[in-house]
Amino acid sequence: MSPEPSASAHRPLTRLSDDERLFRESVYEFADREIRPLVREMDEHAKLAPALISQLFEMGLMAIEIPEAHGGAGASFFHSVLAIEELSRVDPAVAVAVDVQNTLVINALLRWGSPQQQAHLLPRLATDTVGAYALSEAGSGSDAFALSARAVRTGDEWTLSGRKLWITNANEAGLFIVFANANPEAGYRGITAFLVEKGTPGFTVGKKEDKLGIRASSTCELLFDDCRVPASHVLGEVGKGYKVAIETLNEGRIGIGAQMVGLAQGALDHAVRYTSERKQFGSAISSFQSVQHQLARAATEIHAARLMVYEAARLRDVRQPFLTEAAMCKLYASEVAERVASLAVNLFGGNGFVKDYPVEKLFRDAKIGQIYEGTSNLQLQTIAKQIIGVS
């Protein structure tokens, strides 16, 4: 799986290369075979199956863009998007674990990591180490740079103090990219990114959140109490953590767009099957024109959202500006996912409201798309800044 940026630049957005098509199909086949039987149990217990995490590594899905020299697949960002989309058709909770690993943690290391950091950490991330991205705090959500976590330098070490909230992959992760302010007087220009490994003294994974959706994906608080990390564990430059955050989050939003497209497609798949089997008044309800039109509109919206996600991912791979496209695809795909999941519940009728059928879970899972990695209001503001120059 080698990236072909020049070919991608000229290929129609929905036309996949043979390599991309085979990759997408293999990911879905894996998800359908290995993940689908575990979905309900993982949701009920709010935990990813440990054996499944190992399988994700074995499939290469946790190291899609890591170069082959470091043990990864050496593929493109677009491949990551395809994997996230296809996993989400079966379980968005599994997909977001893969998403954070690839679009946030690995991308940050590939762009900002020193050769020494990459040589030490990328082979681990390709083999058995889950990564997490620790930016959010109680008072720092959409205002991502209002950080209260602090970093103080003493000799060859930094001491981190503070608390992070809503950190995805926290229970499973062995490596955390942690943002703290090393110079509060400089505001966001003091923010610095640190590489913190699980087991570092003074660092604790705290409370696990009891969530509405994507329950198998762990979301926890992180506690730093005089946590000392070597100066060599700064990712990028001191005071440039805001650049690390901004640039990786823009890519992460494309990943969330892909997650929501996959979720919506999964909900539509279920709805099409169910309406073909469910009979009322002597006929399958899919024979009713009103049902057909609802399914047709849902398919159209999913196609449009997929186009937007693919365009943003292609632009990123050919190193063209994609800020607006990333915001647009996340905004629109998350709205489509909620609408289509809700439609699926409606079409299932009473069965759609109970946990014995899969669409109830997808309906719960869809809500987070409009919240994490930048709320819909934040995406609208980003788009507005680009198209009319508002501040």
pLDDT at residue 9, rounded to an integer: 41
pLDDT at residue 142, rounded to an integer: 74
pLDDT at residue 140, rounded to an integer: 83
- Could you give the percent of the chain with pLDDT greater than 90? 93
Residues 148-161, mean pLDDT to the nearest whole number: 97
The model's pLDDT over 270-304, given as tens digits with 9 standing for 90+, comes to: 999 999 999 999 999 999 999 999 999 999 999 99
The model's pLDDT over 69-92, given as tens digits with 9 standing for 90+, comes to: 999 999 999 999 999 999 999 999
* 185 pLDDT above the threshold of 90: yes
Q: What is the mean pLDDT of the chain?
A: 95
* 11 pLDDT above the threshold of 70: no
* 150 pLDDT above the threshold of 90: yes
The active-site residue, picked from 85, 325, 338, 373, is 373
The model's pTM is 0.94
* 3 pLDDT above the threshold of 70: no
Tell me the C-alpha distance between 160 and 152, whole Å: 7
* 362 pLDDT above the threshold of 60: yes
Q: How confident is the model at residue 22 (pLDDT cuts 50, 70, 90)?
A: very high
Tokens of 145: 């740079």
- CA-derived radius of gyration, the chain: 21
Q: What is the CATH number of domain 5-130?
A: 1.10.540.10
Find the DSSP H helices in the chain.
Answer: 5-10, 18-30, 39-45, 50-58, 77-90, 92-99, 107-112, 115-127, 241-277, 289-317, 323-348, 359-366, 376-388
pLDDT at residue 390, rounded to an integer: 66
Q: How confident is the model at residue 13 (pLDDT cuts 50, 70, 90)?
A: low
As a 3-state breakdown, the chain gives helix, strand, coil percent values, each rounded to 5, of 60, 15, 25
Residues 309-318, mean pLDDT to the nearest whole number: 97
Q: Which of 191, 308, 328, 312 is nearest to 251 (CA)?
A: 312
Residues 216-221, mean pLDDT to the nearest whole number: 98
pLDDT at residue 144, rounded to an integer: 66
Class of domain 243-388: mainly alpha
Q: How confident is the model at residue 143 (pLDDT cuts 50, 70, 90)?
A: confident
Q: How confident is the model at residue 1 (pLDDT cuts 50, 70, 90)?
A: very low
Q: Which residues contact 380 (CB under 8 A, 6 or more apart)?
A: 327, 331
pLDDT at residue 100, rounded to an integer: 98
Q: Where are the domains of the chain?
A: 5-130, 133-239, 243-388
Class of domain 133-239: mainly beta
Distances (CA, A) of 207 to 39, 79, 214, 220: 23, 33, 17, 5
| 373 tagged catalytic | yes
* 231 pLDDT above the threshold of 90: yes
* 7 pLDDT above the threshold of 50: no
